[in-house]
């Protein structure tokens, strides 16, 4: 009668030691297998400011679960490709938003070939957390010339877009006309305008736009996300008689001013109400004490 019990015990011991062997083998294989590195995603763009700087904007992201998050502190090298030869321009480190900016010199904007395109490439080296990544960009240099004239009731914006190398007009380009403001530019007129066959456009606006604190209007003519020329900005500054009225109410005694300029009645009446409530409570306690002593 004891033989079946012995068989069951033997089978249980075999299953136990077998599972231990399998688990130890899996643990050793897991330790020997290197952790898979995340694959970052780099994006490269070009921005040219007329009478200003030209620069490359870089963004780095990595997928975590179902969403992309920014990569902070990633070192990215910037290259200029000329006739299939690489020229290292420099390197940048991404900020907390995953962004970095590399300012270009005139010598960094050399056309790759006779077509006039300039080729840039960015790369991030592999490290303990991320594998290597890269991105490249082909861009043409363009020039925007803009002028603003005004009458009593109309502001007229005239712009001309040409290729920087050949001087040829750029037709059918999408141009925005913006008014520069402190936080974000304000779109003037339509959402966008299109250049004609000569690369020109003309926009008429009402001459009632308020200027900045110095009494100036800063009109921006912007080519944005173009397939060949990417982003170009031209600013025109003109004086105006319509200025933004400064709101000094914050420095005066008002409800929305600082605590040092609180209206006097807002200090007196609430404190009187609080004082009256506490006096009522003290009076009631005093009466209760008198009643308890009388009893």
The 3-state secondary structure of 88-130 reads EEEEEECCCCCEEEEEECHHHCCCCCCCCCEEEEEEECCCCCE
pLDDT band at 77 (very low <50, low <70, confident <90, very high): very high
Q: Over the chain, what is the mean pLDDT?
A: 83
Pair 173, 226: CB distance under 8 Å: yes
One fold for 40-139 and 142-239: yes
Least confident interval from 40-49, 160-169, 182-191: 182-191
Least confident interval from 5-19, 76-90, 211-225, 261-275: 5-19
Q: Where are the domains of the chain?
A: 40-139, 142-239
Pair 212, 238: CB distance under 8 Å: no
pLDDT band at 161 (very low <50, low <70, confident <90, very high): very high
Higher pLDDT, 210 or 167: 167
Mean pLDDT, residues 43-50 taken together:
94
pLDDT band at 12 (very low <50, low <70, confident <90, very high): low
pLDDT band at 34 (very low <50, low <70, confident <90, very high): low
Q: Which CATH class is domain 142-239?
A: mainly beta
Pair 48, 56: CB distance under 8 Å: no
Q: Indicate if the pLDDT at residue 3 is higher than 90.
A: no
Helix (H) or strand (E) holding 179, with range, is strand 174-179
Mean pLDDT, residues 95-119 taken together:
87
Higher pLDDT, 17 or 40: 40
Q: Indicate if the pLDDT at residue 261 is higher than 90.
A: no
pLDDT band at 216 (very low <50, low <70, confident <90, very high): confident
Question: 40-139 in CATH: which number?
Answer: 2.60.40.1940
pLDDT, residue 28, reads 46
Q: Indicate if the pLDDT at residue 1 is higher than 50.
A: no
What percentage of the chain reaches a pLDDT higher than 90?
Answer: 45
Q: Indicate if the pLDDT at residue 234 is higher than 50.
A: yes
Strands 186-187 and 174-179: antiparallel
């Amino acid at each position: 009668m004891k033989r079946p019990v012995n068989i069951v015990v033997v089978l249980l011991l075999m299953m136990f030691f077998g599972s231990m062997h399998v688990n130890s083998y899996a643990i050793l294989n897991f330790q020997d297998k290197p952790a898979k590195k995340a694959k970052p995603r780099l994006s490269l763009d070009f921005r040219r400011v007329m009478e200003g700087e030209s620069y490359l904007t870089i963004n780095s992201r990595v997928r975590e679960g179902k969403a992309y998050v920014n990569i902070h502190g990633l070192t990215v090298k910037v290259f200029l490709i000329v006739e299939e030869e690489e020229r290292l321009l420099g390197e940048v480190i991404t900020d907390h938003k995953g962004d970095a900016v590399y300012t270009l010199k005139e010598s960094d904007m050399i056309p790759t070939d006779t077509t006039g395109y300039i080729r840039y490439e960015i790369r991030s080296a592999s490290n303990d957390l991320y594998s290597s990544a890269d991105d490249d960009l082909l861009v043409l240099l363009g020039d925007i010339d803009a002028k603003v004239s005004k009458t009593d009731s109309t502001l007229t914006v005239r712009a001309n877009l040409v290729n920087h190398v050949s001087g040829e007009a750029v037709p059918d380009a999408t141009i925005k006309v913006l008014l520069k403001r402190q936080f974000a530019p304000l779109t003037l007129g339509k959402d966008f305008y299109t250049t004609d066959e000569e690369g020109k456009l003309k926009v008429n606006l009402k001459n009632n736009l308020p200027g900045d604190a110095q009494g100036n209007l800063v009109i921006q003519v912007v080519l944005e996300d173009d397939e060949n020329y990417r982003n170009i900005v031209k600013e025109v500054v003109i004086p105006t008689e319509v200025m933004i009225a400064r709101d000094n109410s914050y420095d005066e005694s008002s409800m929305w001013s600082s605590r040092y300029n609180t209206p006097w009645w807002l200090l007196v009446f609430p404190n009187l109400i609080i004082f009256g409530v506490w006096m009522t409570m003290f009076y009631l306690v005093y009466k209760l004490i008198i009643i308890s002593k009388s009893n």
